[in-house]
Amino acid sequence: MNQPAATAPEGTTSAPTRVRERIGGLDLARAVAFMGMVAAHIGDDTTRGSDADGWWWLWIVHGRSSALFAVLAGVSIGIMASRAPSRRHTRVKVAVRAVLLVAVGVVVSALGTPVYVILPNLGLMMLLATVALGWRTRWVWAGAVVLLVGGGLAFDPVLRWTEATGLSSVPLVDRLWWHHYPAIVWTGYLLIGLAVSRLPLCAWTTRMRLMLGGTAVGVGVAALGIAADGQTPWPEADATFGWFPAWASMEAHSYSPVELVSNAGVAVASIGLCLWLSDATGPVLAPLRALGSMAFTAYVGHVVVIAIVGDEMVYEPSNAALVVLLMTFTAAAWAWRRRFRQGPLELMMTEASTAVAALYGNPRR
């Protein structure tokens, strides 16, 4: 089990969690995020296809799983910063990884599946998040709130303006205000992760605070939205964005302030729970940790599977197929990790970013 690390001073950008080995709880959280996104894509929640006997409770994965994925990306950036020789080194390393994410995302999107691929957007978000590496932790939290609340309110007017001016069709730049995973809003999730990474993640008290605080925010804000007659998170009629009551909507990907902040709370609570659960269960969850350690490869792999099988995998979902796919990916990841340190795409990203950072990441003399 990892030992607690010393807390870094408030003004520093390095995380207090300075352990060099992987943090198993974060890998477990990545596995949860990946499985949730796959369930959102091919799981039968009774709203698609003809199967009325689907798992209605799968509504909970919509929006929240991808938000957790984004928050964990911010945590990873923070951990990289804590282990890097300089802030410049971190920025170069993150920039290379962001470019690779965009490149792979463009290729995967070209497969033409019904899946809205998050990778290009996530790469852009990572680039934007590097601006906050030098901020004090309190300002990182404040920046996250501004983007999740203010960005959620401004998203619809900004989207209409970009469509009217033609900016919405500019490649990659359009990901700033894209209909799905808009970077001007979702970068707030990465800032949440960056702030979380500066906590002593190996400490039991930190994990309890993440669970309790995240749950309080997630549930409390969701209850506020529902009390304000906002769209409920379970499937109902479509909501249109506006100041009221859509500002309080809990519908997945509505980008309302309530949905965004509630999802952030759920993500933080999930990270705290996974950190505790990973250590508490020992080797029992090793296959899931292996899956989470190569979530990038697994994400690309599941989109390739959908492309091979066909669009009906999304439009006519089957929970039997969902379970088989997740079990197959978990077994394959576990077998891979028994021989290799990283997944194939993770290794590519690590080697490329490390090499470029070694050349251009050191402070100029």
Residue 360 in any domain: the answer is no
| pLDDT above 90 (res 235) | no
> Residue 84 falls within a domain, yes or no?
yes
Residue 13 has pLDDT above 60, yes or no: no
Reduced to 3 states (helix: H, G, I; strand: E, B; else coil), residue 202 is coil
Q: Are 23 and 272 in contact (CB under 8 A)?
A: no
Residue 109 lies in a domain: yes
- 57-104 confidence digits (pLDDT tens): 888 999 999 999 999 999 999 999 988 888 999 999 999 999 999 999
Q: Is 361 inside a domain boundary?
A: no
1 found inside a domain: no
- From residue 324, alpha-carbon distances to 120, 297, 320, 328, 336 in Å are 28, 18, 6, 6, 18
Is the Cβ–Cβ distance between 308 and 112 less than 8 Å?
Answer: no
Count of C-beta atoms within a 10 Å radius of residue 306: 21
Would you say residue 244 has pLDDT above 70?
A: no
358 within some domain: no
pLDDT over 50 at 28, yes or no = yes
Phi, psi of 86, deg, nearest 5: -160, 165
In a domain, 225, yes or no: yes
Is 0.85 topped by the overall pTM?
yes
In this prediction, residue 51 carries a pLDDT of 55
Tokens of 170: 């500019």
What are the tokens at 39?
């369930």
- Give the model's confidence band at 242: pLDDT under 50 very low, under 70 low, under 90 confident, else very high: very low
288-321: pLDDT as tens digits? 999 999 999 999 999 999 999 999 999 988 899 9
Task: Indicate the average pLDDT of the chain.
Answer: 86
Euclidean distance between CA atoms 144 and 161, whole angstroms: 24
| Domain contains 44 | yes
User: Which pLDDT band holds residue 349 (cuts at 50, 70, 90)?
Assistant: very high
- The closest of 149, 274, 264 to 206, measured between CA atoms, is 274
Per the structure, the count of domains in the chain is 1
Domain of 309? 26-340
Average pLDDT over residues 180-197: 94
Q: What is the pLDDT of residue 6?
A: 36
